[in-house]
Amino acid sequence: MSDSIIYEHDCIPKDEKSRLPDFYNLVKYNNQVLYIYTESDIKPNSKYQNIMVVKNLNTHEEIKIKPNLNYNIQILSHYLKTFMYSDDILWIGILVNTGPDENFNDKYLYMVYTVNLQTGAITTVITSKDVCSIKPIGTKYFYFVGNGGIFDWSSLTKLNQPLEQVHTIPHNCVLYPIDWSSSSIAQLANCSYIKTTANSEFVELVDSNFIPIFTLDVKTWFPNYKPIEPTNTHTQKQASIYNTIVINNNILLYMEHTNVIENSVYEIKVTGVANFYCWDFTTNTQVEFSSRKLSYFIDNLIPFRDNSNNKIKYWSHEISDNTHWSKIYESK
């Protein structure tokens, strides 16, 4: 379940610039937090991570999983994918390097583990499908990024079998679940999904049967919307304005930005700028975030709710000079 993923916790330390690691895996389970990470029992060469650890940060209990293969493996930690499959079952997808073949080319395997957190039972599936690109759509469906096919949730445990699509969308589109029952407008209240298109400010409202309701320009939701005006120092190419729409935890985040301009040695010639606009479907209200000047590139955004202080925040994956990190930003 996509709403089981957690983006901020004290166990993930920030550096002196308040930055977090570029990736980590935290999942909410039964009002507790699970931290899923990798480690190695190969010493002293510990860079080869070959064990997955599921650690309960509340009880400090651990479940360790070592892929049962007949050869040495390396788990590629950056490709670890995890969320709750149900109230009690944790879903983990991994990509492992199984070493060179007869032509000395590295071989890879995708594997899926499900862990019953009540009984401790573990199941394993080896698949050719790219489990690292899986994105949940609520608790009913999922898709593979860039694939276009929508699949039934139960197929997540049957990835070694042929999959039957229940719906198809264009490859550059994403489908997000929402609950807009807070709206007094019947058509909006009947919306179950929102379909977004890459680098577009338009969204399509869709009902529970994937039938389109109508299309909206998200900018019209925000009375304080102000378009970005490129500076005179921009060339035609540098003046390009990009936009991103992401929905998570019943929150829509819209970013409009110009990228930072660097020279060949990563020195900043022109800073970028990013404006953020946010809508909470649960309360049917706008949430305000500050704009940012950019000396780095923003690679990904995910809005989320911090239930500890009733704040809406977003997680931002950022890149500069081949360095990756993530950072949390809080609403005003």
The tens digit of pLDDT for each residue in 301-314 reads 999 999 778 899 99
Region of poorest pLDDT, from 85-89, 183-187, 243-247, 287-291: 183-187
Residue 7 · residue 87 · CB < 8 Å:
no
- Does pLDDT of 156 surpass 80? yes
Q: Residue 310's pLDDT is what?
A: 81
Question: Helix (H, G, I), strand (E, B), or coil: what is residue 215?
Answer: strand
- Does pLDDT of 124 surpass 80? yes
C-alpha pair distances (Å), 210 with each of 96, 146, 150, 173, 192: 35, 19, 11, 14, 8
Q: Residue 73's pLDDT is what?
A: 84
Region of poorest pLDDT, from 49-58, 65-74, 104-113: 65-74
152: Cβ contacts below 8 Å, ≥ 6 apart? 140, 141, 164, 166
Question: Helix (H, G, I), strand (E, B), or coil: what is residue 153?
Answer: helix
| Of residues 255 and 2, more confidently modeled | 255
Q: The tokens of 253 are what?
A: 């985040």
- Does pLDDT of 291 surpass 90? yes
**pLDDT average, residue stretch 70-96:** 92
In the chain, the percentage of residues whose pLDDT exceeds 70 is: 94
How far is it, in rounded angstroms, from Cα 173 to Cα 145? 9
Alpha helical stretches, state H, the chain: 186-189
Q: The tokens of 264 are what?
A: 């060949």
Phi, psi of 27 (to 5 degrees): -135, 140
Q: Residue 185's pLDDT is what?
A: 86
Question: Helix (H, G, I), strand (E, B), or coil: what is residue 84?
Answer: strand
| Of residues 316 and 101, more confidently modeled | 316
Question: Helix (H, G, I), strand (E, B), or coil: what is residue 97?
Answer: strand
Q: What's CA 99's distance to the chain center, in Å?
A: 29
Task: Note every long-range contact of 244-248, with CB atoms under 8 Å and residues 24 or more positions apart, other chains counting.
Answer: 244/199, 244/298, 244/301, 245/196, 245/200, 245/201, 245/203, 245/218, 246/196, 246/301, 246/302, 246/303, 247/176, 247/178, 247/194, 247/196, 247/303, 248/2, 248/3, 248/176, 248/302, 248/303, 248/304
**Token pair 């202080």 is at which residue?**
309
Q: What is the pLDDT of residues 213-245, one digit of tens each?
A: 999 999 999 999 999 876 555 454 555 889 999
How far is it, in rounded angstroms, from Cα 127 to Cα 162? 10
- Does pLDDT of 297 surpass 90? yes
How far is it, in rounded angstroms, from Cα 169 to Cα 40? 40
Q: Residue 259's pLDDT is what?
A: 87
Q: The tokens of 133 are what?
A: 């690109």
**pLDDT average, residue stretch 51-71:** 92
184: Cβ contacts below 8 Å, ≥ 6 apart? none
Q: Residue 171's pLDDT is what?
A: 92
Q: What is the pLDDT of residues 263-288, one digit of tens each?
A: 666 677 788 899 999 999 999 999 99
Tell me the average pLDDT of the chain: 91
- Does pLDDT of 165 surpass 80? yes
Confidence class for position 103, pLDDT limits 50, 70, 90: confident
Cα diameter, the chain: 64
* Beta-bridge partner residues of 262: 268
